[in-house]
Structure 1
Amino acid sequence: MTPITEVEGRRLALTNLDKVLHPATGTTKGEILHYYATTAGAILAHIHNRPVSFLRYPDGPDGQLFFTKNPPPGTPSWVRTVEVPRSEDKQARQVVVQDLASLVWAANLVVEFHVPQWTADEPNIADRMVFDLDPGAPATVVECCEVALWLRERLAADGLHAYAKTSGSKGMHLLVPLEPTPSEQVSEYAKSLAVEGEAALPGLVLHRMTRALRPGKVFVDHSQNAARKTTAAPYTLRARTEPTVSTPVTWEEVEARQNLVFRIGDIAPRLEQYGDLLGPLINLNRAKPLP
Structure 2
Amino acid sequence: MSPERQEVRVEVDGRTLTLSSLDKVMYPATGTTKGEVLDYYARVSPVLLPHLADRAVTRIRWPHGVADGSFYEKNAPAGTPSWVRTARVPTTGTRGPSRHGDTVVFPVVDDLATLTWLANLSALELHVHQWTVGRNGRPRNADRLVVDLDPGEPAGLHECCQVALLVREELAGHDLAVRPVTSGSKGLHLYADLPGRMRPDDSTALAKEVAEALQARVPRLVTATMTKARRGGKVFLDWSQNAGSKTTVSPYSLRGRERPTVAAPVTWAEVEAGAEDPLGLEQLRFEEVLDRVADLGDLFAPAT
User: Which TM-score band applies after superposition, normalised by the shorter structure?
Assistant: over 0.9
8 Å contact 1:133–1:173 — kept in the other structure?
Answer: yes
Decide which of 137, 155, 161 is 1:145's aligned counterpart: 161
Decide which of 152, 175, 185 is 1:136's aligned counterpart: 152
Secondary structure at the aligned position of 1:73 is classed as coil
Secondary structure at the aligned position of 2:180 is classed as strand
Deviations 1:102-159 (A, max 9, x none): 0100111112100000001262510000000001111111110011000001111221
Decide which of 7, 16, 34 is 1:11's aligned counterpart: 16
2:133 alignment partner in structure 1:
120
Decide which of 247, 252, 266 is 2:288's aligned counterpart: 266
1:155 alignment partner in structure 2:
171
Work out whether 1:104 is the aligned partner of 2:116. yes
- C-alpha distance in 1 between matches for 2:157 and 2:77: 33
* Deviation at residue 259 of structure 1 after TM alignment: 3.4
8 Å contact 2:183–2:283 — kept in the other structure?
Answer: no
- C-alpha distance in 1 between matches for 2:175 and 2:30: 43
Q: What percentage of residue pairs aligned between the two structures are identical?
A: 49
Deviations 1:59-99 (A, max 9, x none): 12221111111002211111111111111492231100110
* Deviation at residue 248 of structure 1 after TM alignment: 0.1
8 Å contact 1:124–1:183 — kept in the other structure?
Answer: no
8 Å contact 1:137–1:215 — kept in the other structure?
Answer: yes
8 Å contact 2:133–2:140 — kept in the other structure?
Answer: no
1:85 alignment partner in structure 2:
90
Q: Which runs of 4+ in 1 moved over 2 A?
A: 88-92
- C-alpha distance in 2 between matches for 1:200 and 1:58: 45
8 Å contact 1:53–1:114 — kept in the other structure?
Answer: yes
Secondary structure at the aligned position of 2:64 is classed as coil
- Aligned pairs for 1:166-181 (under 5 A) are 166-178=182-194, 179-181=196-198
- C-alpha distance in 2 between matches for 1:157 and 1:173: 19
- C-alpha distance in 2 between matches for 1:72 and 1:204: 42
Work out whether 1:29 is the aligned partner of 2:42. no
RMSD (Å), alpha carbons: 1.3
8 Å contact 2:149–2:189 — kept in the other structure?
Answer: yes
- Aligned pairs for 1:118-267 (under 5 A) are 118-121=131-134, 123=139, 125-178=141-194, 179-257=196-274, 258-267=280-289
- C-alpha distance in 1 between matches for 2:183 and 2:154: 17
Contiguous gaps of at least 5 residues in structure 1: 286-291
Deviations 1:143-198 (A, max 9, x none): 10011000001111221100000111111100000021111100011101100111
